[in-house]
Amino acid sequence: MGLSDKKKKKSPFSVVEDPKTLHKNLEFTATEQYKLLRTNLDFTLPEGEKCPVIGVTSSVRSEGKSTTSVNLAYVLAERGSRVLLIDGDLRIPSIARKMQIDNSPGLTDLLMGRGSQMGEFQSSILKNWFILPSGNIPPNPSELLGSRRMETVLKGLKEVFNYIIIDLPPVNIVSDALSVASMISGMIVVIREDYTEKKDVERCFRQLSLSNVKILGCVINGAKLEGGSYGKYKKYKYYKYYRYERDSGDKRSRK
């Protein structure tokens, strides 16, 4: 990213570049925001669902979907749940690189019926955290993600996990995220502050709404924190979590 080593070390995102120190590297305010996201999910997820499947998407690229997916999966697993993180970006997968694992075998292998043991995907960080990379990039990602086979695979996985997080491509660029709409409990939408354009956010929500996706919340990535009681952490930008009320108007959000 062209940052100096010193600056890199201070970034909350060094967490995904150096998975071995994930729990140590994530700075206090960032960790707290992810925990808040975790708590808020408890309220927005459909009650009584055995294994919620949470999609993570955004309107365009580089808003922080994969970063959010990794860190959300981590805080959920840290609480003791059995969590599976799936790289569902079959066009530009990044979870394997971020977590420094092989990208194959992965999701596409499961979808092609090339069975793999889930034990292969256990992370070295937490024993109850499993990471399924994309596998080899297929020629037809959208069809694969929306296939009956994907439904079957997810159904099987739901039997053995408490949470499944799927990192998806951006809604305004390709239809892949919408292809899984009917298979997920809901979607988290990442919006990057000072980056994402309003018209793109609007388009994204319109598309999700047309596909009847339940919006579980928005992560405002890079949001400035109000207050300032965090002392030295104040100057860093982390995340804010908003509940998104789909039925009460697209743009209304509350903390």
221 binds Mg ion (CB under 5 A): no
Span near Mg ion by CB under 5 A; candidates 37-45, 91-99, 106-114, 151-159:
91-99
DSSP lists the bridge partners of residue 220 as 191, 240
Sign of the CA dihedral running 5, 11, 13, 18: positive
Question: Please, is 241 exposed, middle or buried when counting C-beta atoms within 10 Å of its C-beta (0-12, 13-18, 19+)?
Answer: buried
**Residue least distant from Mg ion (Cβ):** 66
Number of residues counted as binding ligand ADP (CB under 6 A): 16
Span near ligand ADP by CB under 6 A; candidates 40-48, 56-64, 108-116, 203-211:
56-64
DSSP string for residues in 173-242: T-SHHHHTGGGSSEEEEEEETTTS-HHHHHHHHHHHHHTTPPEEEEEEEEEPPSS-TTGGGTTS-EEEEE
Span near ligand ADP by CB under 6 A; candidates 40-48, 59-67, 181-189, 240-248:
59-67
Q: Which does 82 bind (CB under 5 to 8 A by kind): Mg ion, ligand ADP, none?
A: none
The Cα-based distances of 152 to 50, 59, 131, 219 in angstroms read 16, 28, 19, 29
Q: Which does 149 bind (CB under 5 to 8 A by kind): ligand ADP, Mg ion, none?
A: none
User: Would you give the distance in Å from CA 214 to the centre of its chain?
Assistant: 15
134 binds ligand ADP (CB under 6 A): no
Minimal distance in Å, beta carbon 249 to ligand ADP?
26
Near Mg ion by CB under 5 A: residue from 29, 33, 57, 66: 66
Q: Which does 11 bind (CB under 5 to 8 A by kind): Mg ion, ligand ADP, none?
A: ligand ADP
Nearest Cα to 193, choosing from 234, 232, 239? 239
7 binds ligand ADP (CB under 6 A): no
Residues that bind Mg ion (CB under 5 A): 65-66, 94
